[in-house]
Structure 1
Amino acid sequence: MKISGIFTAIVIGVVIGVPGRLVIPGRQRIGIWWTILVGIVAALAGTAIAGAFNVADTKGIAWIELAIQIGLTALGVVGVERFTGRR
């Protein structure tokens, strides 16, 4: 993964935190900073996974890569909520 890919994954990670939370039913009791952090980690992991399956390098928007990242964000939000959720 090149440095431009890492920077792009971080920016996308900040943005995909919201859709990652929206795909989970109910209210999530974690803060916005946790959501952003989970989004960044999920974006980096999703980029690596998409690269491993050769679906990252497409012309235009890499929809499969984006779907992987949002899915990982949703899983991450659920995981973080279970461990650190506000009561």
Structure 2
Amino acid sequence: MAAQGLILILIIGGVAGWLAGLIVKGYGFGLLGNIVVGIVGALVAGWIFPMLGLGFGGGILASILHATIGAVVVLFLVRLIKRA
């Protein structure tokens, strides 16, 4: 993977994790945590959305939206696990 692709993945993951932290109040994990949550969220959304027949097209904004929705799902799951 080229360095530019890795940097883009980290930026999209960070933005998506940050946005998900704003949506799910009280779940900010700092810069590295937000990047991890955003990347994991993108993986989760990449697994769930095709099964539901959903797609957002291509581009950076679509990738951020995709990863943000997945990160929100991940944060809700984290919240449910912490309550149990």
More helix by share: 2
Deviation at 1:13, TM superposition (A): 0.6
TM-score normalised by the chain length of structure 1:
0.55
AA of the residue aligned to 1:17: G
TM-score normalised by the chain length of structure 2:
0.57
Taking only aligned residues, the RMSD between alpha carbons, in angstroms, comes to: 3.5
| Distance in 1, Cα, partners of 2:13 & 2:68 | 9
Distance of aligned partners of 1:43 and 1:14 in 2 relative to their CA distance in 1, 3 Å threshold: same
Distance of aligned partners of 1:40 and 1:74 in 2 relative to their CA distance in 1, 3 Å threshold: same
Contact 2:17 2:71 in 1 (8 A): yes
Q: How does 1:50-61 map to 2 (within 5 A)?
A: 53=55, 55-56=57-58, 58=59
From 47, 51, 70, the equivalent of 1:72 is 70
Aligned to 1:16: 16
Deviation at 1:70, TM superposition (A): 0.9
CA deviation string 1:62-82 (max 9, x = no partner): 332221111111111111232
Task: Point out where structure 2 has 5 or more consecutive residues left out of the alignment.
Answer: none
Deviation at 1:27, TM superposition (A): 2.8
1:55 counterpart SS class: coil
Task: Point out where structure 1 has 5 or more consecutive residues left out of the alignment.
Answer: none
Contact 1:17 1:36 in 2 (8 A): yes
2:66 counterpart SS class: helix
**Identity within the alignment, %:** 17
Distance of aligned partners of 1:79 and 1:6 in 2 relative to their CA distance in 1, 3 Å threshold: farther
